[in-house]
Amino acid sequence: MSSMSWTLPRLSQSSASTAHGLVGSVRLTYAICAFLATCLHAAMRNMLGMIILKMVMPRPEDALVVPAGLSRLTEGNVTSTGRCGSPRVVFNPQIQETQSGDLPWTRNQELTFPGVYYYGYVVSISLSGYLADRCSSKRLFIVSLIFEAVAYILLPAMAHSSFEAGVVDLVICGLLAGCGNPAMYKLFVTWAHPTERTALLSFAYSGLLMGSMLVYPVASYLSNFGWELSFYVVGGVGLSFGIACCFLVYDTVEQHPRISNEEVDYLRQGKSQLGQQRQPVVTIPWKSLLAAPPVYAFILTHMFHTYTFLVIVQLMPRFMREAMEFDLREVGFLSAAPYLGGICSKVMCILGGSYVERRVGPDQNCVRRMLYGICSILTTSLIGVIILANCDDKILVLVMFAFMMATTDMGFSGYWPTLLYFAPSFAGLLSGLANGMAHLSGFLAPHLVAALVHTGSKDEWNVVLMTLIVFNTMAMLVFAFCSSTNLQPWDPRSRMEKTASPSAQESNS
């Protein structure tokens, strides 16, 4: 006996006669708010990977390490075979180009500082997932935006004060940012029709790519007038938008002042009336939850998958500068180029997600596993091409990164919505737990890079890229064998569905 997914009504239940248009709806309003919030969170988080190159002053003690017998020093220059094997004369790149700021930090501090954000993020996102199931998701969503923006505006002053003060402020930014993600995810249970969830979630989470893509060139340009200006502008926009969300985002359909009766009926379509109402979760079935393979599949897949994404967004500017030897003035713009692939992937998911969900039916296990498997294999192959390339293949590497961002993001759209199908009542809790575990790599990855990459050579960076292949393979295997989209029997909505089914059968007869 197979269990049904409560989130997918039959085709007859989602007919055109009862559908409510998305244009002008409060569903679209919330999806846009979620998109912009995700965009701003991503911008504040990922800008650090690029702007740190302009925050730190030159370090005279840094030296380009060249193997014995392959170099000679001449008036401060290094003549060597180069990182890609061709003879060249290099002024120490870390002194001459990479650092141009005024903060007297060491290379280790410079590499690890962007990852400090995740110390706070990991803690708060797990706790806020628990809170999102029990209190106002709107409040968590708005508090996260407003107060993170305030802390971000204060970051330059704290960094000038001392490295330790900057670390404390950045940890606070992470703490505040972590409050928003589970709350935003949980609100989609209310503000997305079951057949629209993949499309609207894909649109909302495309802000991760759009925010990263836009912030690199914008911050690069603003930093010409002082690196501090980037923090003031991005933080100011986040603060203004957070205040606006007070009048745009609501917890329930009953609280929304502008929703129509037709849209209320549409949001309840295909689900039990009891299941649609906001029901407080009195107890968490920890024993059943911890014994459920889909829970482990969701969390572990997200952990392994997120490692690839975080390494790319945090360290791509440095990879472009050190391994591929791009000019620092080009790094901000070229680091944004690969995100175009992710944007294309999101467009495909937005346009095709609802259609696939309607046509496949309630059992999506096979389709989602196949989609994620294909995306993982393609991602691994693209990483292999980047490893084999050298720093003369600049265009090839940029194109491979663009395709890799597309396949990585499409894989995300394949597994991430499954939680709303197998455990919708605990979407906040489990998404918070998954994000907390996944973003451990946010502060571990910079330490790994600091340990593996000493001179910035392509060979050293290839070792980092090989770890991406390992994590992608593990994600593919876990999701293939353990994932599910079937509503689990320990979820309260499963009991509501069983209670509602006899009534529905009587009315049909």
Judged against a pLDDT cut of 70, whether residue 38 lies above it is answered with yes
Domain 23-60+97-277: assigned CATH number: 1.20.1250.20
Between 420 and 64, whose confidence is greater?
420
Looking at residue 80, its pLDDT comes to: 43
Looking at residue 193, its pLDDT comes to: 79
Give the amino acid at 141: F
Q: Residue 133: which pLDDT band, with cuts at 50, 70 and 90?
A: confident
Distance CA 165, CA 158 (A): 5
Looking at residue 70, its pLDDT comes to: 40
Fold of 278-497: Growth Hormone; Chain: A; (1.20.1250)
Residue range(s) of every CATH 1.20.1250.20 domain in the chain = 23-60+97-277, 278-497
Percentage of residues of the chain with pLDDT beyond 90: 29
**Length of the chain measured in residues:** 509
Looking at residue 475, its pLDDT comes to: 94
Where do the DSSP E strands lie in 201-338? none
Cβ atoms of 207 and 38 closer than 8 Å: yes
Beta bridge partners of 359: none
Q: Residue 323: which pLDDT band, with cuts at 50, 70 and 90?
A: confident
Judged against a pLDDT cut of 50, whether residue 40 lies above it is answered with yes
Burial of 215 (0-12, 13-18, 19+ CB in 10 A): buried
Q: What average pLDDT score do residues 41-64 get? A: 79
Give CA 206 to chain center in angstroms: 9
Looking at residue 10, its pLDDT comes to: 39
Q: Residue 3: which pLDDT band, with cuts at 50, 70 and 90?
A: very low
Percentage of residues of the chain with pLDDT beyond 70: 80
Looking at residue 253, its pLDDT comes to: 86
Judged against a pLDDT cut of 60, whether residue 113 lies above it is answered with yes
Query: Which helix or strand (DSSP H or E) is residue 72 part of?
Result: strand 72-74
The pair of three-digit structure tokens given for residue 342, joined into one six-digit string: 């992710």
Between 145 and 19, whose confidence is greater?
145
SS (H, E, C) 371-390: HHHHHHHHHHHHHHHHHHCC
Q: What is the residue-averaged pLDDT of the chain?
A: 80
Judged against a pLDDT cut of 90, whether residue 163 lies above it is answered with yes
Looking at residue 73, its pLDDT comes to: 41
Q: What is the pTM (predicted TM-score) of this model?
A: 0.71
Q: Residue 471: which pLDDT band, with cuts at 50, 70 and 90?
A: very high
3-state secondary structure of 64: coil
